[in-house]
Structure 1
Amino acid sequence: MTHDILINYVEKDDQVDSEQQTGWVSSFKRFLNMVLSQLLQEHPKIALLDSQLLQDSTSLNVLNQTKVLVTIVSPEYVQAPIQEKVINTFFEVAQNQPDLPAPDKRCFKVVKYPVAYDSQPLLLKPLLNYNLFYLNRETGEEQEFEDFFSSIAEKNYWTSLVDLAYDIYHVLTRFDKKQATKTDDQLLEGIVGEGDSTRTVYLAETSQELTIQRTIIKRELQRHGYQVLPNYTLPNDVEKLEQAVLTDLKRSLISIHLIGREYGENVKGGDVSVIELQNKLASEYSQQQSEGTEKFSRLIWLPPSLVEASERQQQFIENLREDAQGLSNAEILQIPLEDFKTTIRKSLTDSPVQMQERDHAPKTSTNKLQVYLIFDRVDTQPALLLMEHLQAQGFYVITPMLMGSILEVRQQHIEGLKYCDVALVLAEKADEQWVKVKLKDLVKAPGFGRERPMRAKILLAINDYHNITKDDLKTYNVRKVENIDLNDFSAEFTFQNILNQAVQNNQS
């Protein structure tokens, strides 16, 4: 496609005043390019599409050749009639490209300055907000960023920008892998497993002042394989909002609420704020669950330095502390953020883990030799190729879980080490330290309850790992195979010989 990213905006949002060398949108483009270039290891193709260019109807044809559309939302943007046509056209074009990510995954909403939910284009409303404005604590008003390198910009603007860049990066990498076959997708589904409540967390929307803290917690949860909800902008109408929140709560293991000094505006059609309503719904849902066999817990965080809260917010916090029923299966913690993150991790790992049935899980007994194919998520594609080769040779292939709670993933890994006949560590892009940890795990396997020696332990290094020495391999009792042909694993004699020997030992 011609463009990796097309930035849609109105020219007023990129005007240059006497103190600025570049406009707001041009600066945003430069910063986004800088962050994405580090992630992609190459410069993405980013172009600007302003409303003046759109006066020519044929200019909309550029959307056919665009992977990602970024909209810069502002009061001026929503007043330009052509902009809704741009959004509608992009969604229509993307829907006719079924082999590519869905349109709502390819369109990103950057908020330069707040716009009322009801004033936004229809297709933009549910999209996640990437807020690039800040709250002036002295005036209590939202403001646009003019100095992109101030301390407040570092905390707000850059945190949201990096979040946006990571999310765009994940979409662009899916375009690079669009040649993957449906068979690959099916195999991946068996490895990753379908989403369920054991690894889904409801991280409640919060006030503008705590957006950064919410982002930090969200990143950490996602890094450990959790899905974080809501992953869209909550509706403004109270009935639709309640329905959306309850749907997400039912999918979640736990809810997390960050309470600051701002109460926020009442939800349209209701008499409480979004923050209070989410907590109320989570409390009621937790109470319902406690009456059955399933449990649902809540963690509520208040900053240690909480001061100058509004009168209504003080009343909300006071009611929260005193309402015993509302605190069923809940903890209120007024501690530093790092300590709160530790509490979150403990709450998730202490939750009862139900080991889910999935394809490629270890079997306690089978007629086939079990090969535990150990790989990092970044090496999924070569792992799929190798898995197909091993299955064609009659092996039962165990794979690691790539998503799930820390405890769940670790337990599945231990089960794989416990029951496999051959352990095979595959590494191409994986970090060298990751490789060493997995090789050490092979040595620890007897301590996990393994009753007999493995028939073979192999390190299949597609790239060179110079710091893994011969002495290391001797310590771990591992055979190393290097520089193998990704498209023809059977052509590598050493690798094939080790597998054949394992089969012969099993038959004897």
Structure 2
Amino acid sequence: MAYVPGLEHDLFVSYAHADDVAWVRALEEGLRERVRQRLGLDVSIWQDTRSLRFGQSWPDEIAHALTRTAALVAVLTPSYSTSVWCKRERDQFLEQFPGGQGLNVGSIHRLLKIIKTPWDNNEHLRFFESLQHIDFYRKSDRAAIELWPGTDEFRLKVAEAAESIAALLRAMRRQREKVYVASPATDCFEHWEALQAELRTQGFDAQPEGPRDSAFADQLMREEMRGAMLSVHLLGAEFDAFAAHQINLAAELGIPLLFWAAKEARTQADERQQKLLAALAQGRGPDGAELPAGFQNLDGNPRSMIQEVLAALKPRPREEPPAATGSPRVYLLCDPTSARDAAFARTLRSGIIEQEKAIEVDLPEDDAASATAARQRHGELLRACDGLLLYREAAPAEWFLSQLPSLLYGERLLRRPPMRSKAVLVDDPTQLAGQPETITVIPRTPNFSVHDLEPFLAPLRANPRPHALA
């Protein structure tokens, strides 16, 4: 899969087959590794693994690859200058850009010249003379000496080329990443403008181009939403029917949803807005339909909201859920930012493992790179666990209430099989007044021990099986 969305390959390396293929392969592998280090994700480099270039006709596979690649890397040698195949590859790539339109991404060109061997009289400098190039040779008094793989000089030049390529691919990815920022009620309009401006500054395709209201047809808004990698909805204290309608439209299209509730929404929301916020917390849209899996609820100040949206858009390698071992797995959910709760949770984890032997226990991350990364890991642990134990003593009441939907509706929100056991461990059970009576509540008494968790642990021992995702 290519790093740049919508393409099949990130790089196509064009070279004369009369040249040293081993040198070209070393260049490709060096670029692959260095660009991956710069971007944090693998890149796709098209390779002629079936010796297509040695045929007599122009293979469709090569033509297709050239029209589905982000950048062409031309390895210039005297043989390249006379190669009919190299010219065909170059022409096929460039014909996508009539008049050169789209060939530049900002200040970066999508054709990069690697000078392996200079041409006579430095004529290679007159080949696409306006384009950047990187010399993979050094000059001596009598000749140009090529840089060979494995040398420090070669590695430095690979790093230089990788820097340019990574910048190009990053810019192209941003251009193709659409983010829909739904038009909010008037009390959030200033935050909407700030988020739109920051997304565009960062190079994202922020839609819509202007505020929308009920005068705009649903079909128009669906077209603006279609293909978005994220739909962001800003919610204040004021209920707005059109803002709610946009949530329904984005959910119908299956777009990942991110909701941000301003501080006023938590403390001053009108009755209808309170109902909307409650529904979203339970994974249901304004129309009562289930939201697409993976939605996120944010709070915090407007500046942190913008940073969290950017973090949610940042590409990251896919993290695997905990490996299935055949042992039941417990997710001991606490607030990792509360030192007292986190310390007790670590002690409790050790106690459960020591007593039960066959039960594994996971804790939330306390060193996640961002709140978005922490939420993603939280979702992975919810999907993988057989039992969920929610613990609170010193954590803020707001944190505790924000986690209850995971306990009450986690299976439905994540579309996963039912958990085998769920419980709440609290020092004061009265804080659960008004919650469904189906919740198993275990008081943390002054003489608390792991044996007090028997109502929670017993179902996990019965009929042992691999955890939820095994």
- TM-score normalised by length of structure 1: 0.35
Q: Report which of the two structures shows the higher radius of gyration computed on alpha carbons.
A: 2
- TM-score normalised by length of structure 2: 0.37
